[in-house]
Chain A
Amino acid sequence: RKEVEQDPGPFNVPEGATVAFNCTYSNSASQSFFWYRQDCRKEPKLLMSVYSSGNEDGRFTAQLNRASQYISLLIRDSKLSDSATYLCAVNRGDYKLSFGAGTTVTVRA
């Protein structure tokens, strides 16, 4: 089983819609969690850190469910510019960061 798994999508949504997707992790000792955004094979950029139950930044909300070992990312009022691949990353507590393969989101006009 992979350490971090994501639904690859693609999630194809109209502008203004809400889209949400999950990331599951296998190591229950994982300490902290991150969502990164990656555009078309460019470098990943940190979108949000999740250290407790969740985090919110504008239209983006991340929630952590430790019991079921997953984190989710919800994007409200989707914009065309939100089209990207979203990478989930999990800090296993040993200075190693494991990444999922990413979820692709396409927002259409």
Chain B
Amino acid sequence: EAQVTQNPRYLITVTGKKLTVTCSQNMNHEYMSWYRQDPGLGLRQIYYSMNVEVTDKGDVPEGYKVSRKEKRNFPLILESPSPNQTSLYFCASSFPDGHRTGELFFGEGSRLTVL
């Protein structure tokens, strides 16, 4: 079954405690991206990756890091989480051939609370 898998799905943590949200896709997609979703603000892009070892900032990259060492995996790292990073996070993937970049497959989401 084609899917994007995120873990953990739910996490409550404290300010400053480093955490990683994993994302894995089994569709051989080159393009992967992370979004956060907050009420009234919609989905905002954090980072994206066109392929292995190629990553770039989205619209709200501050406080986040990513890596793309393998095609299937694109972890999101919060080195020192803060309460304003409390959000619903989605990982997504697609083929990066122009238009189809926008035909995203999303993971089920990771709800993160930073106290």
29-76 of chain A: CB within 8 A of chain B: 31-34, 36, 41-46, 49, 51
Docked Cα-Cα span, A36 to B41, in Å, equals: 16
Contact with B96, one of A32, A95, A98 (Cβ below 8 angstroms)? A95
State the B residues within 8 Å of A (CB).
31, 33, 35, 40-45, 48, 50, 56, 58-59, 88, 90, 96, 98-99, 101-109
* A34→B103 contact, CB < 8 A: yes
Contact with B50, one of A43, A45, A87, A95 (Cβ below 8 angstroms)? A95
Range of interface residues on A (Cβ < 8 Å)? 20 to 34
Docked Cα-Cα span, A8 to B40, in Å, equals: 9
A41-B58 contact, Cβ under 8 Å, with A31-B99, A95-B48: no
Docked Cα-Cα span, A43 to B106, in Å, equals: 6
- B-chain residues with CB within 8 Å of residue A32 when the two chains form the complex: 98-99, 102
- A-chain residues with CB within 8 Å of residue B96 when the two chains form the complex: 95
Docked Cα-Cα span, A70 to B6, in Å, equals: 33
State the A residues within 8 Å of B (CB).
4, 8, 31-34, 36, 41-46, 49, 51, 87, 89, 91, 95-102
Q: From A46, which residue of chain B is reached at the shortest CB distance?
A: B103
Q: From A36, which residue of chain B is reached at the shortest CB distance?
A: B104
